[in-house]
Structure 1
């Protein structure tokens, strides 16, 4: 099927589409993390557990690449003079800010999740008849016509379609007004391979590097020019094939906990009532997850919107975000999928809903104030984890890691 053209005539069109891409990558990453956290670590046969452990590592690797894509989009936004943002809508999203074929749900690992992931990552022109439940009945947005000054949503069939449209639009825009005019952002605002310890990271300073960043996202997601075997789609397909084989051999095989993306409170931007956590102990753990997630977003926001920080301070922000992700959010989120939601949802466990609040993107540009708030929040997370650590080794370990991160940010703040 042919892809409808994506219209880009000026900077605001690119800005809007990159902000939309940032939300998309962010929410896709959260979906993969939720499925990863839900996988079991016990109670299976040796063959089944070995497969589940492989799937856990594969899901984690794909989620990490989605984090890379989010950072690349942030670089692209900085390069055109836009402030990167890590805000997004709350789950679930059926259409909403995205076209009808793009839905966002938090699902435990299993048939529904894999069907959803394969549909999201499908290459250009590929249809999946098993994905009807992941397409809303809302009509697509009206095509943008030449001469529209205010940006708005545009139709894209696949994630790759969106990025190809951005790449083609940037190429045409640079040809019309000049590369220097389009890529007016400071090179100092870019995430580099050295700072992020990520060889695939692309610092965007001109059209060539912008196209390289966009191609990196396309190739990792759906594959370059139809070569999808090692891309996300091919990797999910291999998991699907192994999963269906094991299920055929043992129909009772359940590789994941029955996790539910339950909230600590009704999300402010979702009209339909959402499941809420009713178990007090689970609720406390979910709040710790939300705090850790919020801190990661604040650390990344400071990095991508920093002002006069030194290289050492930027390195401290990156290391803090990585440690909070791997050492605090991941173990807390995994533990949460083992805990009951509450009496209203018998037989279901909880899972991180990655809750967003009104003010999570409302941060100031001034360095001293920003670092003071960061250090304070990290210290609060460490203290709250410590308060719930009695008899909870996972939470106790998270408390220690969060305290170490808080100390590193406080030390970096006081060093200047």
Structure 2
């Protein structure tokens, strides 16, 4: 990333005088305000990343998953259909790769937020509410759902990622929303206005002046400090980050905060295309401005008219363009997704789901999964996902690296070497894809490898009260003892073996189970069990220092410092 000329912050005289003369109590209140904004930002990135993952898991991967694909047919008409379906699978794989790329970059944005929390002197914040999230609890005042791939899902994603200056139709008004889910969208929303950076910064300054003067209402304060349960103050992600960037820069330049935890700034490349230059001690202001700018450029493409190629907005717009052409070109009905239900869950509880506390929505907000194999697989997924959150908290909370050898402390190395490449790619993704091929209903009767009429999906549930901050902090915090991690790996291995046996007993097969490679449910769950066992052994070896893995060289991971 090229360095930008950083603008000077010019406060109005009354605000300048106030900021220069804050007492200790007022400084703490201001820091807490920034902390609340960072929690909103990290929550938003986390929600979007998981939402995009779910949609990518729901995509078809094999031509056998189309009901009209007949392998080995000699009929010319059928061969034409087969060729179309095989070509469509390749197109779907490109869409999947692009959605996964967007999800990875959202995780990179989450990393930036963890770095900003470190600068503020706070611990990582990796909590986010369980799906579905009501419109009142999300910065864009729209509900956040787990949605299978469809034109409406991509339209909604495009809306998330649009620059505020760009007029894009509100997905609230779109067709294609399942009937039972429409109540989630039938909440009055503010009409979006074109984004004006100067006007938004002025609004942020006015807010800050009112904040120091104690002129804000309790409702306004609640919207900042408790957005999940008290509605949200912001109309867009761009507005949220503009407030956040401005307040952090003010806090640093006026020495309300000095900038802390230089050693905790994660600057290594682990698949998220982090391209910020290595942080130099004392350049915290530059880092804040670079980080926020990169978040907005990669996501909304805010500085381009039209938005820049490669931005998340452009990725989703391109997929929509492809979708509109495909059915016309092929002449065949085209559904790129498996019949995965919206917002699957095996248990909806009042203290686990914000939506449960809105009587008009709770009965229609989710799809209950009753199939016991699917429920067990979803529980395994959630156990793995929660463990990953704990490991990431340990990584970001205790991160440091020897700048000459590229070696991290033992426990940090254990988190890094487990949570990222092996866990995300060898557990979260394949398990999520398997669950999207398992039946939603206990009444399902297997018919060879035919896709069920309704498929389940991971619900990404964090099994903790959404209203108890002490419980939340404990849930996302890393374990202190190695034994706790090893116990989880053993538990997940056991569940994977149970799932392997259950799929054999019930005769559950994937649609492509007749392929020579036989990547069927039972085989896949067997591999997963082996992965858990191997990861547990490796985690122990890294934790104890029996294995040491320095950061890879520039040629392998594009790390910005030439270690090794």
Structure 1 residues 38 and 28 mapped into 2: Cα distance closer, same or farther (>3 Å)? same
Question: What's 1:24 paired with?
Answer: 44
Q: Which of 240, 243, 257 is residue 162 of structure 1 equivalent to?
A: 240
**SS state at 1:68 partner:** helix
Name the larger-Rg structure.
2
| CA positional deviation for 1:40 | 0.3
**SS state at 2:439 partner:** coil
Could you tell me how far apart the structure 2 residues matched to 1:242 and 1:215 are? 29
Tell whether the 8 Å contact from 2:58 to 2:149 is kept in structure 1 after alignment: yes
Structure 1 residues 52 and 363 mapped into 2: Cα distance closer, same or farther (>3 Å)? closer
1:382 aligns with 2:493: yes
Structure 1 residues 262 and 244 mapped into 2: Cα distance closer, same or farther (>3 Å)? same
User: Which consecutive unaligned segments of at least 5 residues does structure 1 have?
Assistant: 1-6
Tell whether the 8 Å contact from 1:221 to 1:232 is kept in structure 2 after alignment: yes
Question: What's 2:299 paired with?
Answer: 221
Q: What is the 5 A alignment of 1:387-398?
A: 387-390=498-501, 391=504, 392-398=522-528
Tell whether the 8 Å contact from 2:414 to 2:543 is kept in structure 1 after alignment: no
Question: What's 1:200 paired with?
Answer: 275
Question: What's 1:262 paired with?
Answer: 344
User: Which consecutive unaligned segments of at least 5 residues does structure 2 have?
Assistant: 1-14, 20-28, 67-84, 174-184, 192-202, 357-361, 402-407, 445-451, 465-470, 505-521, 547-564
Normalized against structure 1, the TM-score is what? 0.88
Tell whether the 8 Å contact from 1:313 to 1:412 is kept in structure 2 after alignment: yes
Q: Which of 260, 273, 280 is residue 185 of structure 1 equivalent to?
A: 260
Tell whether the 8 Å contact from 1:101 to 1:136 is kept in structure 2 after alignment: no
Structure 1 residues 48 and 195 mapped into 2: Cα distance closer, same or farther (>3 Å)? closer
Structure 1 residues 360 and 296 mapped into 2: Cα distance closer, same or farther (>3 Å)? farther
| CA positional deviation for 1:47 | 2.1
Tell whether the 8 Å contact from 1:94 to 1:102 is kept in structure 2 after alignment: yes
Q: Which of 35, 45, 48 is residue 55 of structure 2 equivalent to?
A: 35
| CA positional deviation for 1:308 | 9.2
Q: Which of 461, 468, 477 is residue 355 of structure 1 equivalent to?
A: 461
Structure 1 residues 78 and 172 mapped into 2: Cα distance closer, same or farther (>3 Å)? same
1:126 aligns with 2:149: no
Once structures 1 and 2 are overlaid, which stretch shifts more, 387-396 or 402-411?
Answer: 387-396
Q: Which of 313, 317, 325 is residue 237 of structure 1 equivalent to?
A: 317
Question: What's 1:413 paired with?
Answer: 543
Question: What's 1:404 paired with?
Answer: 534
1:316 aligns with 2:414: yes
Could you tell me how far apart the structure 1 residues matched to 2:133 and 2:103 are? 19
| CA positional deviation for 1:19 | 0.2
Instruction: Give CA-to-partner distance per residue, 1:330-375, whole Å, 9 cap, x none.
Output: 11100111111115898321111100121464159797x3433222
